[in-house]
Each structure stands twice: as C-alpha cells, then as structure tokens.
Chains A and B, each alone.
Chain A
Amino acid sequence: MKVLLADENSQRAGALARLLEADTSLEVILLEAHTSLMDAVRSHAPDIVLVDISRADRDALDSVRALSASGLERPVALFVDEDDEALMEDAFAAGVCSYNVLDTPVKNVKPLLRSAIALYDRFRKTNAELLAARKTLSDRETIDRAKFLFMKQERCREEDAYRWLRKQAMQTSRKIIDVATEYLAHHTRTPKA
C-alpha cells in the first residue's frame, strides 16, 4: 500500500515515515517541498494520503470527487470513520487527517491514522513544552529587568525590589510578570521632547 505523507514539518514527516516503514507492506512517500498536494497525488497515485491539517492546499483534495478536471483516475475523499468518533476527534485535535482512495478498505487505514495521531501528539507536546520553557525564561528575564530598574530608581536592595513587585501583584490580583512588564513599560518610555 502506497502512503503519501503531506507535512511541511520535515522532522515530523521523517519521524512518521520511519515509524510507518517498520511495516514492510507500506511504501511511504514524502511530499517534496514546494510541491502541491494535488500534483503529488497525481504523480504518485497513493492509496492513502496522510495530511497535516494546517496545509492550506488540503481544500483541493476535498474537491477531487466532484471536479472532473482534477485529472485523477482514482478519486480520493476524506476518510471518515462513522463508528469511531473518538478516533476522528483525536485525529483533528492532533492536527492530522487521512484522504483515501475510495476503494481502499477501511481496515487498512485506522492503524496508520492511530500511529500518525500518536506522533503528532508527541510533537505537539514537545513543542508546547519548548514554548513554555522559553516563556518561563523570558518571564524571568523581564522580572529581573524590572527588579534592577526598581533598585536603581529607588536605591534599594534586590529583596526589597522583589518584595515590592510581589506586593503590587497581590494587591491588584495580577501575576508578578504582568506587574513587571507594566513597570518596565512605564519607566522606560522615552520622554516626549
């Protein structure tokens, strides 16, 4: 069975390809960069297309069935498992879906889709952790900058500066990072001439 992976995230596409290639009955093709989904489907004639749902050209595959000019001999359509709603919801939540050649038996698709969901989830989690880590780092930097500016302005110690930020946050029911950001914005504004 020929599977086309359409994902602009080359790292994720590569990881999914390695995962699927463990099954020797599958021939896995990666969509080349700057190739449209339709062109790739036309030239490779896959049985299944696993698509990253953030790909804007996915709309073209939606139309294949009705568009006689699409030039595809074997019509493809969005794979829908009517009996397994959770699988479909998980797939869209993870950001992946499958387009199948209409005569491909459904039983072949679900394990593939499950592998893709697991992998996409893993990538999403790693990405979210990375973003959270970056945010924590940048929050800490902002608080430090506000603290040092306060120390300079008020000629006080670091503990006093932090205590002042924390007190402001408690009194106004906000986070320390928000108070720090506001303090910096207020005190580093360029004075008008």
Chain B
Amino acid sequence: MLHIVNKSSFERNSLKSCLNTIDDTSVMLLIEDGVISAAKNTNAPMIADLAVQGRVYALQGDVEARGISSKLADNIKLVGYAGFVDLVVEHGTAVSWV
C-alpha cells in the first residue's frame, strides 16, 4: 500500500494515525504540508525508523516550496510528480490520511 500524508505533524495527527496502522510492506509519501515531517525537527524521530528502511518518500516540489531542502532528515527519498505516479502504480491501494 501507499500511505499519503499531507498534513504537518505539528498541526494534525495524520502522521501519527498513519504510523499506527501502516504495515511492514507499505511505504509512505509526504506531500503538501506533510513534507514538514521530512525535515530535521523535534518530530523527526516519528518516521526515522521507517526512513532507515527506505520507506519514506517526500514530494520534491513541496519540500522546495517550503524552503526545507537543506534541512531534510536522513534517508528521505525525494520524488517528483512522475515519481508520485510510479509509487501509486507500484504499491497498490493508496490511502490518503486527509
């Protein structure tokens, strides 16, 4: 599965709820304000384990738009919209934590 999170973990609990139910084979894509969770900040430990496993992606345009390219946490994989499409194709059912 592909889990899509579009809210900052400082504003909403979407990331937390996603982490509560994501299984061992699914990946996560951070988009829109969700990319704030891809930056080095006090909430970074929430996804650190998943990121080490190479299972956290962030939408590059959203990262750049928010000025956090240089503050990206370790092991986050950046993708463009084409990469977003590939993730949807490759990982089956998409779940949006809107």
Answer yes or no: are A and B bound together in one complex: no
A-to-B contact residues, CB < 8 Å: none
